[in-house]
Structure 1
Amino acid sequence: MTTGIRDRAYARLSGPPAPRRRAPRVFEASFSAVGIVIGLYFLAISLTPSLLPRAGYAQGLNSGVAFMIGYGLGAGAYALMRFLSVPQARGRVRVALLSVSLALIALQASLAIWRYVGWQNQTRLAFGMEPLSPLVWPVIAIVAVAVAALVLVIARSLRLLFRKADDLFNRWLPRRLAVTLAGVILVAVLWWVLSGAFVNAFFTTSNWIFSGRDLQSNPGDEQPLQPERSGSPASAVDFEHMGRQGRSFVASGPSAEDIDEYTGGGALEPIRAYVGLRSADTLEERAELVLDELQRAGAFDREILVLATVTGTGYLDPAGVDPLEYLWNGDTAIAGVQYSYLPSWISLLADQDVVRETSRVVFRTVHDYWATLPEDDRPQFYLYGLSLGSTGVEAVLSSVDILNEPIDGALMVGPPFINEMHTEITAARDTGTPPWQPVFNQGRTVRFTAEQYGLDAGGTWGPTRLVYLQHGSDPVTWFDGTLAFTSPEWLEPGQRAPDVAETMAWYPIVTMWQVLLDMPAAGSIPEGYGHLYTHRANLDAWAGVTRPEGWDAADADALGEHLRQRAERLDDQRSLLAD
C-alpha cells in the first residue's frame, strides 16, 4: 500500500503539469486573489517614511508601483506553484486562508493610510517645509490607480507575448521544456532591447535635447569684463561656447568689490577659469585650454588653486565655490571643464567613465605644470567636486599622477553611491563610528562632516586633508541595490543620522524602491537636507581643508550669515529677472 501511494505521488510530480488556466486578457477586469493580498501588503509599507518627504504625486507613483510589485510576486508565485503541481489549499480552507490574510493586511493598510499624513509631516516639519494636508489623498489615489493600471497592462502584454512563444515551442517540445526555453530566449531578447538599443536611444535623444538647452543662458548672465574670468574680452575662450552653466559660473560669484564690502578692503579679483564642450574639439585640447586660461589670468601666483570637477550639465554650485573666495579674500583661482550636456540624474548613469577620464586628463595637464614651479612659490592645490563631480575627484585621488607631487587636499560634497573610495572608507571606518559620519584611521587624512557637525575626529590631521560633506538624508549617497534584500547599517539602532526619521524602517524591495524614488526629489527640498548643501556647511568644510590663519568659530558664524543673506538677495533678483 505504501508503494502504491509513493507511485501515485511520483506520477503527479513527474507527469504532465496541471492544465493551464486561461489568462485574463490585457484589459480584462479579472485579478489574482493572492496577488491582491500581497499587493496590499506592499502598498501599506510603501506609505511608511523614507529619507525625504514625498509630494502627493510622488507617493501615488510610489504606491502604484509598490502594489504592482507585490501583486506580481503573489500572482507569479501562485502560477509557479500550479506549474510545478505543488499541492495547494482548496475549497473552504483556501477561502479561509485568503480571508484571514486579506483581513490582516487590510487592517495594516488602513493603519498606514491613517498615519501617512502624520508620518510625512514629522519629516516635513523637521526639514522646515509646510505640513501636508489630508486633501492630498485624492491625488495619491488617482496617480496610484493610474500607475498600477499601466504597469498591469504592460505586464499582461508581456505575459501574452510569453504565452504565444510557449505555444509555438510546445508544437515540438514538452510543455515544461517549451515554457523554460521560450522564457530564457524572450528574457534575453528583452534584456538586449532594454539595456542596449533602448538605453542607447534614450541617451542619444537626451543628449540631443539637453545640448540644445545648453545653448541657452540663465537670466541675468552677461559676459564678464574682468580679465580674471574666462569668456571675458581678454580670454581665449568664447563666452558663447562655454555652455549654460559655464556662462553662469564666470558671470556670477563675488567680485573684489563684493568681498571688500564684507572684509573692509584688500581683496583680489577671484579668478574663474572654465572651458565648455564646444570650446575645443577634444578632451586634451580642452585641458590645454583651461591651463592656458589659468596661466593667462595669473592663477599660479594666487594662494589657493582649485581644480573643480563639474556635475553633468557643467554646473558648479555657488554654495560650494563662493565661500572659498570670501574665505581667502579673493586670493583664489577655481577652474572647471564641461564633459556633458546631461542633467545629473541621467549623467550619473551615462557619464561615469567620461567624468573619470575628464578629471584625470585635466588634472594631469594642470598638475604637471604646477609641479614644475618652485614649491615655496606656487599655490596650494586642491580638488573639489559636488555629486558626480566627487566621482571625478576620487578618480584623481586613486591615480598615480599625484604620487611624486601630492596635492594639499580635496572637498567632496554629496558623494553618490557609485563612489568606490567612499564606500571602502565607510566600510573600513573605526569601530563605534556611524556610517553617516565615520572616522577612518583616526582622521589622519580623510574626515567626514555634515550640516550641523564639525570635522573634529580627535586625532592629528596630516598635511593632505580630504573631506566628505554628506547628509544622512541624501539618497544620492545612500542608495544601494542591496537595499532590496539587506537592511542597511545606516538604519540600525545607534547608527541613524539625526536628519533620518526615527519611523523609517527597512522592508525588502520596497525600501530600495523608495530611496530610488527619493533621488529625483533630492534637489527640490530646503537647503541643508537631501542633496542640497548650504553655504555655511561648505564654508566650514573649506576652512578645515585649507586652514586659513587665525580662523575661528566667530568668523565662521559671521561669514556664514553674510553668505546666507547674499544668497537670498541673489535668489530674489533671479526670480524677478525670470518673471
Structure 2
Amino acid sequence: MSPSLLPRAWYLQGVATGISVAIGYGLGCTMAWVVRRCGIRPAWSARTRTLGWWALALTALVVIPTFLVLGSWWQQILRDLVGLPRASRSFYVLVLLIAVGVAAVLLAIGRGLRWVAGRLTAVGGRIVPGPVARLAAVVIVAVVMVVALDGALHRGLLSVAERSAQAVDESTAEGVAQPRAAERSGSPASREAWDSLGREGRSFVASGPTAEQISTVTGARALTPIRVYAGRESADSVDGIAQRVIDELHRTHAFDRKVLAVVTTTGRGWVNPNVAAAFEYVNGGDTAIAAMQYSFLPSALSFIADRETPRLAGQALFEAVHRTWSTLPEGKRPKLVVFGESLGSFGGQSAFASGADIVSRTDGALLVGTPNFAQPWGRITAGRDAGSLERLPIVDEGRHIRFASRVDDANLPGPWEFPRVVFWQHASDPITWWSFDLLLHRPDWLREPLGPDVDPGMRWLPFVTFWQVTLDMIFSADVPYGYGHAFGPDATELWVDILDPPQWNSAKTQRIHDAIAGR
C-alpha cells in the first residue's frame, strides 16, 4: 500500500496488493518447508495454536484497515504532488476484495502446479528413486509452463492483438485530414498513399505548425516544415520501409534543409507532437523530419513482447539516411539530428554503439523517456562521473552528453561542446526505472536523494516495489507534463540548448513554449 512513482487507481492497487500477498505467502511457505527439512517441528499444544490464530486475527483486524486508510492517504499526497485532482478514498474498501481475489487465484494456480508435480512424482517414483522423480516432475512442470507462456499462448495472444491493432490502424483520428502541401507524405504530390501511412502516421503528417504559424510566433520568415513518413504496409521489411522514407526525402528536397531529424517512432508509429513541433519552431521551419511505422502493436505490447523490431527499425532508418547524407558535400549537408521517445528512444539508440558514437555521427540528439533496457543509455548511466546521481548522471563533466529532468538540469558549470546530446527523463517515470532488478535489488535511484517529482515516502521493498512500478507504467502518460512519462512544451528549451540557433533570445523560447502549450 506504500507510495511508488505515480498515483495508482484503486483497482490497480488491489492487483498490486494481491500479488504481494501471494508472494509473501509463498515465501512464508518456502521458509516453513526449509525449517521442516532441517528437522525442526515444534510440537505446539492445542491451546497455543488457538492463541496464535486469535493473535493473528486480532493483528489483521488492526493492520489491514490501518494500511487501507494509510494507502488511500498516500495516494492523495501523490495526486497532489503531480497535480492531479484528488480521488474518492471510499473505493479503497474494494482494494481489500480485489487483493484477496487476486491472491486466491494465484494461490490456486500455485497449488494446482504443486498437485501436478506431486502426481508426476508418484508416477515417476515407480520407475526411479523418489528424489530423482521429484526433481524430474518439477523440471517437467517448469518446462511446460515456460512453453505455454512463452510459446503457443504468447504467440496466440500476440497474433490476436496484432490483428486487432491492425484494424485500429486503418482508422483515422478525429479531425485529421489529408495534407495538401507537397512537403508532406500522404499529400497528392507524395508517392506514399494517404491510406498506407497508418493511424499515427496520418496524424503526424497532417499536424504540426505551418510556415505562417511559425512566422507569427518567431517574428521571422519561415518555411513549411517537411514531414516524411512510410507506413508498415508500404514494404515487406524494415529496410524496405526505410528506403521508401529515403525516396520521400529526395522528393521533398529534404537534404536541402538546414536541419534533418531522424525519428524512431513508438510501437505503431507515434511521434511526440510536442518534440516535433518545438524542433520545427526553433529552426524556423527549415527542417525535415523522417519517420516510419514498423509495427501495428501498441507500445505497451511492443515493450513486453517485441523489442527486436524497434531495434531493427531504428538501425535501418538511421543507416539509410546517414548513407545518403554522408555522400553530400560537407558544406551542403543539413545538420543531422535524432530524436525519439520511449521505444523510439530505444530503437533510435540501437543505431549507435556508444554515446561517443552518437556524438561522432550526429549533430545532436534529444532522447526522451528512455526505457531501462536501452543501450547505450544503460552503459552511459553506469559509467557516470563519480558522485553524480543515477537519475541525473553527469558524463565526462557534461562535455557532450547531458541528462535533464527539468530544463535547468542541462545547465552544468563546465563547457558544453558540439554536438550536444540530451537524455530527457523524469525521476517519476516508471518506463525509465522499471527493471527486473527491482525484485531483489534496491537501485541507486532509490538509495540516492529522490527527485523532486517523487514522493519522499517511497521506499524499496523486495518484490513489492517491482509490482508497484510495473503497475505504475499502465497510466504513466496520463499525468501532467513534467511527471511520469508525459513530455511536453519543455522540449523547446532543450532544442535551443542542443542546436543553439543564431540570434536567439529567451523571449522567442517563451513564445514557442506558449504556442505549443496552447496559451
The question of a shared fold, defined as TM-score above 0.5 by the shorter chain, is answered with yes
Q: How does 1:437-448 map to 2 (within 5 A)?
A: 437-448=392-403
Whether 1:87 and 2:41 are equivalent positions in the alignment is yes
Q: Is the 8 A contact 1:64 1:143 kept in 2?
A: yes
CA separation of 1:399 and 1:502: change in aligned 2, threshold 3 A = closer
Moved more, 325-334 or 98-107: 98-107
Q: Distance in 2 between matches of 1:71 and 1:86?
A: 20
Amino acid at match of 1:90: W
2:90 partner SS:
helix
Q: SS of the counterpart of 1:373?
A: coil
- TM-score by length of structure 1 reads 0.85
Q: Which residue of 2 aligns with 1:362?
A: 317
**Partner Cα distance (2:209, 2:97) in 1:** 47
8 Å CA contact 1:51, 1:474 repeated in 2: yes
- Paired residue secondary structure (2:290): strand
Matches within 5 A, 1:296-375: 296-375=251-330
- Greater RCO structure (CA 8 Å; 6+ sep): 2
Q: Which of residues 492, 501, 510 in structure 1 aligns to 2:464?
A: 510
Quote the residue 1:119 is aligned against: 74
Paired residue type of 2:386: T
Aligned to 2:371: 416
Query: How far, CA to CA, are the matches of 1:123 and 1:238 in structure 2?
Result: 46
* Partner residue in 2 for 1:291: 246
Whether 1:129 and 2:101 are equivalent positions in the alignment is no
Partner of 2:100: 145
User: Does the CA contact (< 8 Å) of 1:223 and 1:247 recur in 2?
Assistant: yes
State the match for 2:513 in structure 1. Answer: 560
Deviation at residue 255 of structure 1 after TM alignment = 1.2
CA contact under 8 A between 1:523 and 1:531: conserved in structure 2? yes
Residue 17 of structure 2: aligned partner? 63
CA–CA distance in structure 2, aligned partners of residues 301 and 272 of structure 1: 14
For the residues of structure 1 that align with 2:168 and 2:459, how far apart are their CA atoms? 40
Work out the CA distance in 2 between the residues paired with 1:97 and 1:561. Answer: 64
**Paired letter, 1:373:** L
Q: CA deviation at 1:333?
A: 0.4
1:513 deviates by 1.1
* In 2: Cα distance, 1:241 partner to 1:154 partner: 45
Aligned in 2, Cα 1:512/1:402: closer, same or farther, shift over 3 Å? closer
Give the TM-score, by structure 2 length. Answer: 0.94
For structure 2, the residue ranges without an aligned partner over 5 or more in a row are none
Q: CA deviation at 1:177?
A: 3.6
Q: Which amino acid aligns with 1:203?
A: L
1:141–1:66: structure 2 CA closer, same or farther, 3 Å change rule?
A: same
Change (3 A) 1:463 1:265: closer
Q: CA deviation at 1:375?
A: 1.2
| Pairwise CA distance, 1:56 | 1.0
Q: 2:196 is matched with which residue?
A: 241
Is the CA contact (8 Å cut-off) linking 1:451 and 1:533 kept in structure 2? no
**Mapped pair 1:432 → 2:387:** yes
Tell me, in whole angstroms, the C-alpha distance in 2 between the residues paired with 1:399 and 1:231: 35
Once the two structures are superposed, residues 258-306 of structure 1 have per-residue CA deviations (whole angstroms, 9 ceiling, x without a partner) of: 2223234511000000001111223222222111111111211111100
- Residues 90 and 351 of structure 1, relative CA distance in 2, 3 Å threshold: same
Inter-partner Cα distance in structure 1 for 2:468 and 2:356:
40
Q: Tell me, which stretches of 5 or more residues in structure 1 are unaligned?
A: 1-46, 567-579
2:498 aligned partner: 545
Which shows bigger deviation, 499-508 or 390-399? Answer: 390-399
Q: CA RMSD for the aligned pairs?
A: 2.3
SS at match of 2:241: helix
Which deviates further from its counterpart, 158-167 or 389-398?
Answer: 158-167
Matched, 1:266 2:221: yes
Compared with structure 1, are the counterparts of its residues 562 and 291 closer, same or farther at alpha carbon in structure 2 (3 Å cutoff)? same
Q: 1:52 is paired with a residue of what secondary structure?
A: coil
Distance 2:409 2:505 in 1: 13
Indicate the residue corresponding to 1:49 in structure 2.
Answer: 3
Give the 3 Å change call, closer, same or farther, for CA 234–117 of structure 1 in structure 2. Answer: same
Instruction: Give the Cα–Cα distance (whole angstroms) in 1 for the partners of residues 29 and 308 of structure 2.
Output: 40
Shift of 1:400: 12
Higher mean C-alpha deviation, range 385-394 or range 255-264 = 255-264
